[in-house]
Amino acid sequence: MKIPVELAETLAAVLDGGTLDAAARALQITPSAVSQRIKTLEEQLGRVVLIRSKPARATDAGAAIVRMARQVALLEHDTLSALGADDGGQGAGRRTSVPLAVNADSLATWFLEPLARLSAQHPVVFELHRDDQDFTAALLESGTVMGAVTSRAAPVAGCRVSPLGAMRYEAVATPAFASRWLADGATVAELDVAPLVDFDRRDDLQTEWLRSAGADPLMPPRHLVPASNDFATAVRLGLGWALLPRFQSSHALASGDLVPIGGMHIDVPLYWQQWNLRSPLLDAIAEEIVADGRRLLAVSRR
C-alpha cells in the first residue's frame, strides 16, 4: 500500500485549519475537493482518519498520516536547502511551517528569542501551540507538532529528549495584599481566605504550595487568568497571591512592588522533545532552543 503525499498533506491542512473550508483556502481548492481527498484516503487505508467535529480531529490512524505529511515537508525543505534552492530565509519565497508546542510561561519569557533568530536564518515559519507543560507531549504523540517544551522526561515514541533545566516559581503578592490578607505570615487560617490566582483549572502550582504549607487547597477563593503576562499582571495589581517564575517576578521583587510570602519554592523541570529525524532544520531548531533554555533557566534559579 502506498499513501499519496497529496492526500496526506490535505489531511494535515484540515487539522491545521480546523475545518474543510479552511483547508480548501490554504490549498486553493474547493471544500468538496478536500472532502473527496479525505474520502479517497480513508477508502485506500480502509479506516477513518478524520473526526468531522469543530475543530476537526484526527483518529489514531489519521495522526500517523499527519506525522508522515509533516516529515515529508521537513525532508523536502532539507533537500531544497542541500540543493541551494531556498532563499536562505530572505524574500517572500515558500517557507516551511514548523509546528511546536510550548508552555505559557516559557512562551512569555524566553522561548521566542531563539525562534526569531531561526526565522532570520532559515526559510521557516513557526506555528505555536500553547498548553500546560504536563500536556504538550500529547501533541507530539498525535503528530500535531514536531517539537515541544514539556515536563515529560521519558521520550515520546519516535522522539529524542534534551533536558533544559527547571523553571523556579515562588509565592508572591503585593505589599498591600500581604498586609491585608497575610499579616501574620501566611498562616493556615489566613491562607484559607486569602484570594489566589490560578492560570486555569489545570494549574496545580498554587494547590501544591498550599498543601506544602499545611493548608486546604479547597478553601481559598480563586481567580482564573489564562494568559501568562496577564496572570503576572493580576498578581502585581493585587488581585491575589500566586507563584510566579523568577523571570516575571525578579524586577518587581527588587523594586518592592511584590514581596515573597514565604513557603517553599517549586522547581518545574523542563525538557525539549522533538522527532528523532536526521534533519538539519530540526537540528538547528533544537540547538537554538536547548542552548537558550539551559542558559536562561539556570539564571532563573539563582
In eight-state DSSP terms, residue 241 is B
Compute the distance between CA of residue 105 and CA of residue 247 in angstroms, rounded to an integer. Answer: 9
Task: Look at residue 302 in the predicted model and tell me its pLDDT.
Answer: 58
Residue-level pLDDT, tens digit, the chain, 302 residues: 789 999 999 998 998 888 999 999 989 999 999 999 999 999 999 999 999 888 888 888 988 898 888 888 888 888 877 777 655 444 445 678 899 999 999 999 999 999 999 999 888 889 899 998 888 998 888 878 899 999 999 999 889 999 999 999 999 999 999 999 999 999 999 999 999 999 998 899 999 999 999 999 999 999 999 998 999 999 999 999 999 998 899 999 999 999 999 999 999 999 999 988 888 889 999 999 999 999 989 865 55
23: left (phi over 0), alpha (psi -120 to 50) or beta: alpha
Cβ-based neighbours of 84, under 8 Å, separated by 6 or more: none
Residue 194: exposed, middle, or buried by beta-carbon count in 10 A (0-12, 13-18, 19+)? buried
Q: Taking the domains of the chain in order of start, what are their residue ranges?
A: 1-85, 167-267
C-alpha–C-alpha distance, residues 229 and 197, integer Å: 13
Three cell numbers at 175? 505589599
The gap between the terminal CA atoms of the chain, to the nearest Å, is 56
Residues 45-66, buried b or exposed e (16+ Cβ, 10 A)? beeebbeeeeebebeebbbbbb
pLDDT at 292: 95
Q: Which CATH class is domain 1-85?
A: mainly alpha
CATH superfamily of 167-267: Periplasmic binding protein-like II (3.40.190.10)
Distance CA 108, CA 228 (A): 6
Whole-angstrom distance, CA of residue 76 vs CA of residue 266: 43
| CA atoms within a 13 Å half-sphere pointing along the CA-CB vector of 223 | 18
pLDDT of residue 184: 95
Instruction: Estimate to the nearest angstrom the gap between the alpha carbon of 89 and the chain centroid.
Output: 24
Burial 196-207 (b: 16+ CB within 10 A, else e): bbbbeeebebbb
- 3-state SS of the chain: helix, strand, coil percent to 5? 45, 20, 35
| Sign of the alpha-carbon torsion through 160, 135, 104, 67 | positive
CB distance 215 to 199 below 8 Å: no
Nearest to 205 by CA among 140, 121, 263: 263
Can you give the pLDDT at residue 90?
Answer: 46
Q: Phi and psi (nearest 5°) for 196?
A: -125, 170
